[in-house]
Structure 1
Amino acid sequence: MFRVCREDIRSKSQSERRTLLESVQAKTEYPEIFRISALIDFKSWDDLAIVREQSRAMIAEGIMLKRKSATYQVGRKRGDWWKWKIDPLSVDAVMIYAQRATVGAPTYIPITPLPFGMATNWCPLPKPIRALPMRRSIR
């Protein structure tokens, strides 16, 4: 949120902007749709690590740590916030087929849906965002 009642609030601290956001959310007709993430109270990094491990159950990829006094900054400025992600899930898979790139870099193989599973029980994975470099492809 950058403006409240036509006032630019980017120069206000994170705490001040949070208070403004909460007041706007409280006045909305649909507070269950316009939700604000809960604040996390912790006394040690170990306490925070326990909360972080619960992220997946909350359908989140981790937690955001934000300096309360920080103003809004464009881009990724160091020191004012930190995204502490949970470890990604992994899967063992067998690449059955791939397709050479027809557009863009011909040295890359964009992976078409990647089947995985056991015996006759195959399930396609969605197409990944990144392509495999040719040098890493299996011959």
Structure 2
Amino acid sequence: MRTLALLIAAVGILLEGLVIGVVLFALGGVIDAYSMSLNGSDPSVASPAVKAAGIGLALLLVVLAAGLGAAAARDRHARGMAVTALVIQCLVVVVAGIALGWAVFAGTLLVLGTIMYALLDDRPTPAHRRG
């Protein structure tokens, strides 16, 4: 069951990373196209900064999803990755709950729950069962 939980968490975090990256990159393009000011900042600085933040966050979440997916494929505990994913997912759930509606909030909460399950599952890994 831990493998399934890690797979669901990995897919959820991968989707979140791609959506966040695309939205922030598009927002950077809108800032540039309309010469928008973000709280008085220069649009020529704000646009690349928002695009870079989108790319950086997307890469972080994709790497995190890959680590969780690799742990699921090996049927191993992913304590370090799962704790990192848990912290990031808590932030995503808060943002989703405040700004994006109930459906997105429910999806992000499902991913958070699967990460919690994977952390709390104390079943021995295959390496510990052999010997």
Range into which the TM-score falls when normalised by the shorter chain? under 0.3
Q: Which has the higher strand share?
A: 1
How high is the TM-score relative to the length of structure 1?
0.23
Identify the structure with bigger relative contact order (alpha carbons < 8 Å, sequence gap 6+): 2
- Which structure shows the bigger proportion of residues in helix conformation? 2
